[in-house]
Amino acid sequence: MLTKRQLLILQLTVNDFIQSAQPVGSRQLSKKPEAPFSPATIRNEMADLEEMGYLEKTHTSSGRVPSEKGYRFYVDHLLIPEKLNVEDSEHLRSVFKDKVMETEELIRKSATILSDLTNYTSILLGPDTSVHAVRRFSIVPLDERNAVAIIVTDNGRVENRLFTVPEGFTASDIEKMVNILNERLVGTPLVNLQKMLVQEAKTILEQHIQHAGEIFASLKKAISIEPEDRLYFGGKMNMIKQPEFNDIQKMKTMFDLLENGMPAMSFFQEGAMGIHVRIGSENKHIAMEDFSVITATYSAGEDTTGSIAIVGPKRMDYGRVITLLDMMSTDLSRELAKMTIGGNPLGRKKQ
């Protein structure tokens, strides 16, 4: 058990290090009005906290910095969520004032705003629509060589997929194709759509439509659903601005992790609702041992959720980030619910 004085000194040490990125000394803390103790008293308490594993020295003559254990204790027991000022609150919610036309655009703008407000990297995981089934197909020609396949799902969402049509493909061909797709594929979960397109529709399309092989290949590619397609990034390069990250190889490994969809998906814990903080080694990846990841979930309609992650140094401003994530997840959930309830459940385009 830590004493009240040790709790206060640990809290002040973490707060100071978050702000300055410099090791914290006893004399430095003694000047704070919240710590009316002599430098000698603070130095002794910091030594005890170091012995217990909450603080550590970077080298012999330095002050102390929080250890991973110290950060964990701080987040679990000492953290005070930050109250945002009016300017930051308005900036956070500015994305919802725009007439956003698609869910994808709303999520992408949310990622950008979060990275701007935190100066860290933000990752938004879009809603998983793959579990929903096809209610209706339609195809809208854009020009002679391009069309959009519009897939309405059983939860009222719309998936827009751009694909190429072969030369000479007529309006009659499009009508036949839509009829076949609706006859054969309505009720199919999106995750199984590619497979069922091959099994249920390919042969019939070839019997009734010219250039069926070419149009089939283009449509099949367009309706694929990959988990990494749901990732939206903001501020990927923000990590370089952090003073502790001057190891080029370490940063390269971290960027490789972000660039590859499936490893980046590991930042999100399946089924974990609410806000969660993972610090250093808790991320279970060597490239992330000097980083913290804070995640939050949001609702995207009935039985559909997405997630938000902020990636920053272990010296992350946890109180501010948690407040921002809490507000963004609440507002994003409300806005996406309006899109569905209001009869305008807009999906995303995929090329």
pLDDT digits (tens, 9 = 90+) for 336-348: 877 655 444 444 4
Q: Which of 263-277, 282-296, 308-322, 337-351 has the lowest mean pLDDT?
A: 337-351
Q: How confident is the model at residue 223 (pLDDT cuts 50, 70, 90)?
A: confident
Residues 178 and 41 in one domain: no
Domain ends where: 224, 250, 276?
Answer: 224
Selected residue with higher pLDDT from 61 and 194:
194
- CATH number of 123's domain: 3.30.450.40
The answer to whether residue 15 scores a pLDDT higher than 70 is yes
Residues 241 and 345 in one domain: yes
154-164: per-residue pLDDT in tens? 877 777 888 88
pLDDT at 261: 63
pLDDT at 43: 94
Alpha carbon of residue 101 to chain centroid: 20
Alpha carbon of residue 185 to chain centroid: 32
Q: Range of 179's domain? A: 134-224
Closest CA to 139 of 167, 101, 165, 166: 165
Residues 106 and 252 in one domain: yes
- CATH number of 218's domain: 3.30.390.10
Distance CA(199)–CA(234), nearest Å, equals 39
Tally of domains in the chain: 3
3-class secondary structure, 141: strand
Residues 195 and 302 in one domain: no
Query: How many CB atoms are located within 10 Å of the residue 240 CB?
Result: 11
Q: Which of the residue ranges 119-128, 163-172, 213-222, 255-264 has the most confident prediction, judged by mean pLDDT?
A: 119-128
Residue in this structure with the two tokens 């004085």, named with its chain if needed: 5
Q: What is the DSSP string of 160-190?
A: EEEEE--TT--HHHHHHHHHHHHHHHTT-BG
What residues does 294 pair with on adjacent strands?
277, 310
Residues 200 and 302 in one domain: no
The answer to whether residue 318 scores a pLDDT higher than 90 is yes
Closest CA to 30 of 52, 46, 49: 46
The answer to whether residue 141 scores a pLDDT higher than 60 is yes
Residues 283 and 142 in one domain: no
Rg value, the chain, Cα: 26
Q: What is the mean pLDDT of the chain?
A: 85
Residues 346 and 249 in one domain: yes
Alpha carbon of residue 339 to chain centroid: 20
Selected residue with higher pLDDT from 256 and 52:
52
Contact (Cβ atoms closer than 8 angstroms) between residue 300 and residue 103: yes
What does the DSSP 8-state code read for residue 35?
-
Distance CA(66)–CA(292), nearest Å, equals 13
Residues 109 and 189 in one domain: no
Span 115-137, average pLDDT: 87
Residues 121 and 168 in one domain: no
pLDDT at 123: 92
Domain ends where: 224, 248, 265?
Answer: 224
What does the DSSP 8-state code read for residue 301?
S
Distance CA(60)–CA(23), nearest Å, equals 12
HEC letters along 36-68:
CCCHHHHHHHHHHHHHCCCEEECCCCCCEEECH
Largest CA distance in the chain: 89
Domain ends where: 181, 200, 224?
Answer: 224
pLDDT at 149: 87
Residues 37 and 160 in one domain: no
Helix 39-51 and helix 4-20: axis angle, to 10°? 90
Residues 11 and 64 in one domain: yes
Residue in this structure with the two tokens 């809290």, named with its chain if needed: 11
**Length of the chain (residues):** 351
Residues 239 and 125 in one domain: yes
The answer to whether residue 145 scores a pLDDT higher than 80 is yes
Strands 134-141 and 146-153: antiparallel
- In degrees and rounded to multiples of 5, residue 324 shows phi and psi of -65, -45
- CATH number of 8's domain: 1.10.10.10
Contact (Cβ atoms closer than 8 angstroms) between residue 268 and residue 297: no
Span 74-79, average pLDDT: 96
Q: How confident is the model at residue 349 (pLDDT cuts 50, 70, 90)?
A: very low
